[in-house]
Amino acid sequence: MLRFILTRASLLIPTFLGVTLLTFLLIRLVPGDPIEVRVGERGISPERLAQFRHELGLDQPLWKQFLDYIGGVLSGDLGTSLVTHNPVLQEFLTLFPATIELAFMAMLFASVVGLPAGIVAAVKRGSWFDHGVMGLSLTGYSMPIFWWGLLLILLFSVNLGWTPVSGRLDLLYYVEPVTGFMLIDTLLVGEYGAFWSALEHLILPTVVLGTIPLAVVARMTRSAMLEVLGEDYIRTARAKGLNSRRVVGLHALRNALIPVVTVIGLQVGTLLGGAILTETIFSWPGVGKWLIESINRRDYPALQGGVLLIASTVMAVNLLVDLLYGVLNPRIRHAR
Amino acid sequence: MTTDVQPVASRPPHPLAETWYHFRQNHGAVLGLVVITAITIVAILADVIAPHSPIAQYRDSILAPPVWHDAGSWRFILGTDDIGRDMLSRLIHGARLSMMIGVIVVTLSLAVGLGLGMVAGFFGGITDVLVMRFMDILLSLPSLLLAVVVAAILGPGLFNAMLAVSVVVVPHYARLTRAAVMAEMSKDYVIASRVAGAGPLRLMLVVVLPNCAAPLIVQATLGFSTAILDAAALGFLGLGAQPPTPEWGTMLASSLQFLQRAPWVVTWPGVAILVTVLAFNLLGDGLRDALDPKLKR
Amino acid sequence: MPLLDIQNLSVAFSTRAGTFRAVDGIDLQVDEGEVVGIVGESGSGKSVTSLAVMGLIPSAGTVIADRMSFAGTDLRTLSRSQRRRITGKDVAMVFQEPMTSLNPCFTVGFQIGESLKVHEGLSGRALRHRTIELLEQVGIPAPESRLSAFPHQLSGGMNQRVMIAIAIACNPRLLIADEPTTALDVTIQKQILDLLVGLQRDRGMALILITHDMGVVAETAHRVVVMYAGQVAETRSATELFERPRHPYTGALLDALPERALGRRRLPTIPGVVPGIADRPQGCLFNPRCPRAQDRCRAERPALLADDAGRARCFYPLNSQSEVTA
Ligand SMILES: Nc1ncnc2c1ncn2[C@@H]1O[C@H](COP(=O)(O)OP(=O)(O)O)[C@@H](O)[C@H]1O
Ligand SMILES: [Mg+2]
């Protein structure tokens, strides 16, 4: 098992280096003078330019600069924001919990609705329910979520007034961040009103961000279940005289979960991409909105660091999913 | 043996006819095809159909409601936006932009992906490793994030947005092509044509490519929906087509503030995106089922 | 009264090309403690028949029968939950493919114990004890350590033993073994057959042994049903069948046995294949492949004709009186 983990993890090293190289080149590719981009000033005098060039190590050969960059990355130095002058890593870590909270809720929503829908659709293959699930999930999969968010705001916030329009918490409340997760922090200080407010603020963003993963999970669960239900061992389970609940819910589901969990895990990338749109619509103070703002403010070090961190997160999650796949699949777990 | 009683063996139908037969069974796919045809016609005839210019501003009717509202009129069937432009005309011209985005992105990414995949699959070894590693790296970034980054580097604009989206989808085509090429390369007929002296390029284009066309056609169809969706998202974020271009996503970018006063400004561009993307996804799904021999009975 | 009594059983599948009768008017009786062999090439409907007995025909198929009773209970009228109480307990089945018939995600111990838990309410130590006992009975060495093994860690033969352990877990009165050795190595085949026959003898259960190997039937079965294209071609006691087959198809199957082909250079084979969904011939279903076919065979479909020792579906049977004198 340990060897399995180490093999999988080592496979990621070249990819990680590649992503680092990409982000390293990123700041060199943006239009404009690299020093002006880096320092955020225009019309610098030649002496100061040479000084900056030296300070930033730009007079070094490119490979040396890249090594320095990797060294910085590995020791947690991702540069400083041109706008706030805070370390990029620190800014990212302050905002990341908001994104994780939202992404987690969206994934939960997608799984809690998508798994049962896919299972029932597979069992009742060809029924109106099956057609309904397939039609809705294809619609969800085709959804421009930025528009979907606007539509839900129009209906539930503007017309019905049920849910707040934006932000994470009502202005009435202030909760000192401890974990950064609003649902946990409000409970830690025992502010139940704030907890409800945080929950209310999460509803629409969760639905919007969870729509595409929901569609993917439902479709994937259905097709995995259909495949498994045709397997010989399902016939064996029926031949034992087990009831459908046990045949479907235990024998079939346990096998179908292997690909489904993989797909759920791979949706994390989609989620972090979708967070850019969702957070922008709902003014959700997470890393997605921050990235777009960084682009608009030409804060390239922040963009560079943010991209690298998000890519690393996705890679880490994919590694976890890979390991989980091994845990779920006895054929891999007990491979000799 | 008694051959006279053998029932007449039915000749197997032509593969294309068979594909069409399977495809027709799938009502969703047929619907998708019909919708796409309709949108294409609208896109081509945009100048003729659209009642107004997409960028003409009618200052006297700002945020005019659609015709079925009490205050609506037949002059602006779907209403006008915040500077008095006719929504319907903008949507019609937007169809032209979206189809164009689809065609360009798919052509571009397919060409590059096909080339990379063939090179990787055909030459193997270190070339293969390098190309596919690079594809892995692109795939390890969330697709929208990658598109956003590329668009940020290139600067905002419709063409740059198309480039950005193309970059994002190249790995899919490259992987598919490489897998297909590797699978075909080991087959007897390829080995036979190699022995017969077919050059690598000829081998690729004439022998191998037609045999891996099916998955690529499906992927390209689905690629239209990705292209339209992602380009619209970039437009919405202000990184794609710039105003006054009537691109559907761009039209939504500034609409949040009119949500309450003029919901039609928000509704129609989104409906247009959804319907178009859904149609391509339906068509792609239908093609996959019709072309995939594994699912055929 | 036979333990299993089936009359005029038909199983039809609705497919795109129309309805297809995979089993077409079959009679089958099995007495308590009897071994009945069902033989026929693949595609002749043996598996579908046994699945119908188990109540496992998928929903695309319809099962019709004039009579279908087990130990006096009419299987046709039972509710699904009543039926489940018989399936897996009183009637059990062993399938052809041991490697795919066991669930890859659960241990061998769990899969054997599940039947005991569901049908007999065993749990805890009693369950474990009984499971180990079963593994012993099917000849699995070191049974205690095998409890936690997954199917992919065992060989095909071992997995088939596990399948047999599952089937006999609740002491069934009828065991259906559907080509239990076809997927196994030749060396293992005999062991598994011996195990099955031994278990049948020790427990006095009835056994339906499905195979396309006439040799296996010769060694084990009391009575033989020869199936062809969804119908019974011939049914007869085993000794009778091997001495005096009536149906030309049976004759051809017997001629294909290596031990009967002594002195011949090549084993005779039956040309052609079992007609499938699209190519059912007119008249006798076997006529395109039958060396004795006449005009009548191509026009009319013969009924299952009774004689003193069994029945055969043929107008011009082998070993008939006229032939003997001729
Ligand atoms: N679920 C099904 N749907 C349609 N046809 C089936 C199905 N199951 C079996 N058949 C058909 O029934 C016929 C008999 O199959 P089977 O009983 O498996 O033959 P055997 O076990 O004798 O080899 C075959 O032609 C097979 O194609
Ligand atoms: Mg069979």
Question: What spacing in Å lies between the alpha carbon of A211 and ligand 2's midpoint?
Answer: 45
Phi, psi at residue C174, to the nearest 5°? -135, 130
Q: What is residue A80's DSSP assignment?
A: B
**Which CATH number fits the domain that encloses residue C190?**
3.40.50.300
Residue B247 to residue B95: CA distance in whole angstroms = 8
Q: What is the pLDDT of residue B221?
A: 93
CB-CB under 8 Å, A255 with C150:
no
Own/partner long-range contacts of C136-143 (Cβ < 8 Å, ≥24 apart): C137/C165, C137/C168, C137/C199, C138/C162, C138/C164, C138/C165, C138/C168, C138/C195, C138/C199, C139/C191, C139/C195, C140/C165
- Contact at 8 Å (CB) between C281 and B5? yes
Residue A36 to residue A27: CA distance in whole angstroms = 11
Q: What is the pLDDT of residue A323?
A: 85
Of B1, B2, B7, the CB nearest to C279: B7
A133, amino acid identity: V
Residue A293 to residue A298: CA distance in whole angstroms = 8
Q: What is the pLDDT along chain A (336 residues), one digit of tens a residue?
A: 677 778 888 888 888 898 999 888 887 787 766 666 666 666 677 777 777 777 777 777 888 888 888 998 989 888 888 888 899 999 999 999 999 999 999 999 999 999 999 999 999 998 999 999 999 999 999 999 999 999 999 999 988 989 888 888 888 888 888 888 988 888 888 888 889 999 999 999 999 999 999 999 999 999 999 999 999 999 999 999 999 999 999 999 999 999 999 888 888 888 999 999 999 999 999 999 999 999 988 888 899 999 999 999 999 998 888 888 888 888 877 664
Asked if residue C136 belongs to a domain, the reply is no
- Residue found by looking up tokens 């969800």 in the block: A140
For residue C96, the ligand closest to its alpha carbon is: 2
A271, amino acid identity: L
Indicate whether C231 pLDDT > 80. Answer: yes
C64-95 tens-digit pLDDT: 999 999 999 999 999 999 999 999 999 999 99
Nearest residue to C157 via CA among C176, C175, C141, C134? C141
Helix (H, G, I), strand (E, B) or coil at A81: coil
Give the B window 19-48 contacts with A, CB below 8 Å.
Answer: 28
Q: How far is B196 from chain A (nearest CA, A)?
A: 40
DSSP letter string over C161-213? HHHHHHHHTT--SEEEEESTTTTS-HHHHHHHHHHHHHHHHHHT-EEEEEES-
- Six-digit token pair at A99? 């994104």
Protein residues whose CB sits closer than 6 Å to any atom of ligand 1: C 13, 15, 20, 22, 40, 42-48, 58, 60-61, 276
Nearest residue to C34 via CA among C212, C256, C207? C207
Strand partners, C67: C7
CB-CB under 8 Å, A158 with B145:
no
A234-263 tens-digit pLDDT: 999 999 999 999 999 999 999 999 999 988
Of A139, A272, A315, the CB nearest to B145: A272
Helix axis angle, B158-185 to B143-154, nearest 10°: 130
Q: For residue B46, how many other CB atoms are within 10 A of its CB?
A: 20
Residue of B nearest to C285 (CA): B5
Beta strands C61-64; C4-15: pairing state: antiparallel
Q: What is the pLDDT of residue A120?
A: 97
Q: What is the pLDDT of residue B124?
A: 83
| Distance from chain centroid for Cα C91 | 13
For residue C182, the ligand closest to its alpha carbon is: 2
Q: Which residues of A157-166 are buried (b: 16+ CB within 10 A; e: fewer)?
A: beeeeebbbb
Residue B106 to residue B169: CA distance in whole angstroms = 9
Nearest residue to C113 via CA among A240, B176, B72, B216? A240
C277-326 tens-digit pLDDT: 777 888 888 888 888 888 888 888 888 887 776 788 888 888 776 554 43
Instruction: Count Cβ–Cβ pairs < 8 Å, chain A vs chain C.
Output: 74
Nearest-CA residue for ligand 1 atom 17 is C45
> Which positions of chain B have pLDDT values less than 70?
1-13, 293-297
ipTM of the complex: 0.90
Of A19, A138, A158, the CB nearest to B260: A158
Taking CB atoms and an 8 Å cutoff, what residues of chain B touch C229?
none
Q: What is the pLDDT of residue A37?
A: 64
Q: Is A233 an interface residue toward C (CB < 8 Å)?
A: yes
Q: What is the pLDDT of residue C294?
A: 87
CB-CB under 8 Å, B238 with A18:
no
Q: In A75-163, which ranges are continuous DSSP H helix? A: 88-123, 128-141, 145-152
Nearest residue to B174 via CA among B108, B130, B118? B118
Handedness of CA A80, A83, A84, A85 (dihedral sign): positive
Beta strands C18-30; C35-39: pairing state: unpaired
Indicate whether C42 pLDDT > 70. Answer: yes
For residue C183, the ligand closest to its alpha carbon is: 2
Q: What is the pLDDT of residue B51?
A: 92
CB-CB under 8 Å, B7 with C278:
yes
Nearest residue to C179 via CA among C99, C98, C97, C96? C96
Residue B119 to residue B115: CA distance in whole angstroms = 6
Of C271, C278, C287, the CB nearest to B5: C287
Q: Is C298 exposed, middle or buried (0-12, 13-18, 19+ CB in 10 A)?
A: middle
Residue among C105, C106, C120, C152 with most chain A CBs within 10 A, to mutate: C105
Q: What is the pLDDT of residue A250?
A: 95
Residue among A227, A229, A232, A236 with most chain C CBs within 10 A, to mutate: A236
- Every domain of chain A with CATH number 1.10.3720.10 lies at 88-333
The H-or-E segment that residue C3 falls in is none
Q: What is residue A106's DSSP assignment?
A: H
Q: What is the pLDDT of residue A40?
A: 65
C206 backbone φψ class: left, alpha, beta (φ>0; ψ -120 to 50) = beta
DSSP letter string over A145-190? HHHHHHHHIIIIIIIS--S-SSSSS-TT-----SSS-HHHHHHHTT
CB-CB under 8 Å, B1 with C272:
yes
CB-CB under 8 Å, B5 with C281:
yes
Q: Which residues of A73-112 are buried (b: 16+ CB within 10 A; e: fewer)?
A: beeeebbbbbeeeebbbebbeebbbbbbbbbbbbbebbbe
DSSP letter string over chain B? ---TTPPPPPPPPPHHHHHHHHHHH-HHHHHHHHHHHHHHHHHHTHHHH-SS-TT---TTSTTPPPTTSTT--TTSTT-B-TT--BHHHHHHHHHHHHHHHHHHHHHHHHHHHHHHHHHHHHH-HHHHHHHHHHHHHHHHS-HHHHHHHHHHHH-SSHHHHHHHHHHHHHHHHHHHHHHHHHHHHTSHHHHHHHHTT--HHHIIIIIIGGGGHHHHHHHHHHHHHHHHHHHHHHHHTTSSSPTTS--HHHHHHTGGGGTTT-HHHHHHHHHHHHHHHHHHHHHHHHHHHHH-TTT--
What's the number of domains chain C is made of?
1
For residue C274, the ligand closest to its alpha carbon is: 1
Is it true that domain B42-55+63-296 has CATH number 1.10.3720.10?
Answer: yes
Which residues does A272 contact at the CB level (< 8 Å), separation at least 6?
A99, A103, A288, A310, A313, A314, B142, B145
List chains touching B (3+ CB pairs under 8 A): A, C
- Six-digit token pair at C30? 């099995």
Phi, psi at residue C142, to the nearest 5°? 50, 55
| Distance from chain centroid for Cα A224 | 23
Domain regions of chain B by residue span: 42-55+63-296
Q: In what order do the strands lie in the sheet with C91-94?
A: C91-94, C174-178, C206-211, C35-39, C223-228, C231-237, C310-312, C305-307
What's the whole-model pTM score?
0.89
CATH superfamily entry for domain A88-333: MetI-like (1.10.3720.10)
Domain that holds residue C220: 4-90+170-248
- Contact at 8 Å (CB) between B166 and B115? no
Phi, psi at residue C5, to the nearest 5°? -130, 110
Question: What spacing in Å lies between the alpha carbon of C22 and ligand 2's midpoint?
Answer: 11
Q: What is the pLDDT of residue B210?
A: 78
Taking CB atoms and an 8 Å cutoff, what residues of chain C touch B5?
281-283, 287-288, 298
